[in-house]
């Protein structure tokens, strides 16, 4: 497995692969890798001749500096995991390599990027589009792999790819969950054992809501009240939306695909956790 830190090294490596007609898959990550990331890498390895994994903690998508400071950094362990998964290239650049000067580009795809995370984390998706578009330019992948845990992010990236007319297949991969149902996330490492048990209630309540015969409004209120009733958990938002546009729906028949997206604060020093569930 080759580990490169500069754009020039990355391009030189991939140019040789393309000259041989090899397909390239990209798995963009911010590091602190877990089984969810491993599943993306393993799928890319199966579907492409070469798999590139980027490890870059992107500062432009954090509107909270404390959140950026607390984000886990585990490069050595990440590389060990990626080698086991069969990745051929790891791109681990410095901030200076990616942003030699400030990126002033503005991306806007309402309502997809302006609701939910977009509303509560101003500038977040602009930062996501900045870094992902850069990675797509560097790697020029045939396919790029993203986990559905970050459901809204995938919707935004698809809009960006369409807008920039990039010939890249965005592959959405299923959420990988712990045995308790908790969605695997790099942020889970910040939770204590007791907090992990608390956090497992998020998906439990979401799953229960899908089994009940309730209206959209009743489902929303059920999920929020059930989770907020658990000491140590607090819902920031729960939105039931069109699975493509992310516009709010008022009835189950308003869209062909309906998804419930949630963000919950967990623990005494609150860790922000996201999840979602498909209703149809």
For the annotated catalytic residues, the residue numbers are 37
> From residue 149, how far is each of 184, 255, 276 by CA, in Å?
8, 21, 7
* Measured distance CA(145)–CA(44) in Å, rounded: 7
If you ran DSSP here, which 8-state letter would residue 88 be given?
Answer: -
Buried b (16+ CB within 10 A) or exposed e, 181-215: bbbbbbbbebbeeebbebbbbbbebbeebeeeeee
Residues linked to residue 238 through DSSP beta bridges, in sequence order: 262
Residues linked to residue 24 through DSSP beta bridges, in sequence order: 50
* Measured distance CA(140)–CA(161) in Å, rounded: 12
* Measured distance CA(157)–CA(153) in Å, rounded: 6
> From residue 141, how far is each of 61, 85, 136, 265 by CA, in Å?
22, 19, 7, 35
Per the CB < 8 A criterion, the answer to whether 202 and 272 are in contact is no
* CA nearest to 50, candidates 97, 98, 88: 88
- Residue 31: left (phi > 0), alpha (psi -120 to 50), or beta? left
Task: Determine how β-strand 271-278 pairs with β-strand 169-173.
Answer: unpaired
- Residue 235: left (phi > 0), alpha (psi -120 to 50), or beta? beta
């Amino acid at each position: 497995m080759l580990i490169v830190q500069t754009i020039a090294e990355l391009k030189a490596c991939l140019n040789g692969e393309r000259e041989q007609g090899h397909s390239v898959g990209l798995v963009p990550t911010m590091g602190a890798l877990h089984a969810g990331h491993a599943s993306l890498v393993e799928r890319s390895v199966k579907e492409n001749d070469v798999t590139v994994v980027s490890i870059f903690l992107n500062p432009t998508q954090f509107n909270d500096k404390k959140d950026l400071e607390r984000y886990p950094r585990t490069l050595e362990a990440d590389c060990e995991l990626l080698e086991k998964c069969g990745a051929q290239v790891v791109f681990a650049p410095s901030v200076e390599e990616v942003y030699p000067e400030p990126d002033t580009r503005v991306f806007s795809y309402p309502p997809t990027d302006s609701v939910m995370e977009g509303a509560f984390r101003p500038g977040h998706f602009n930062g996501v589009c900045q870094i992902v578009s850069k990675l797509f330019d560097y790697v020029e992948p045939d396919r790029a792999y993203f986990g559905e845990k970050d459901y809204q992010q995938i919707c935004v990236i698809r809009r960006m790819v369409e807008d920039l007319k990039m010939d890249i297949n965005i592959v959405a991969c299923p959420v990988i969950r712990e045995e308790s149902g908790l969605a695997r996330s790099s942020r889970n490492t910040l939770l204590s054992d007791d907090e992990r048990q608390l956090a497992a209630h998020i998906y439990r309540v979401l799953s229960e809501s899908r089994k009940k015969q309730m209206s959209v409004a009743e489902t929303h209120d059920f999920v929020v009240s059930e989770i907020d009733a658990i000491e140590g958990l607090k819902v920031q938002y729960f939105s039931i939306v069109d699975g493509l546009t992310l516009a709010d729906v008022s009835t189950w028949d308003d869209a062909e695909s309906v998804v419930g997206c949630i963000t919950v604060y967990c623990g005494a020093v609150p860790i922000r956790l996201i999840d979602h569930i498909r209703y149809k």
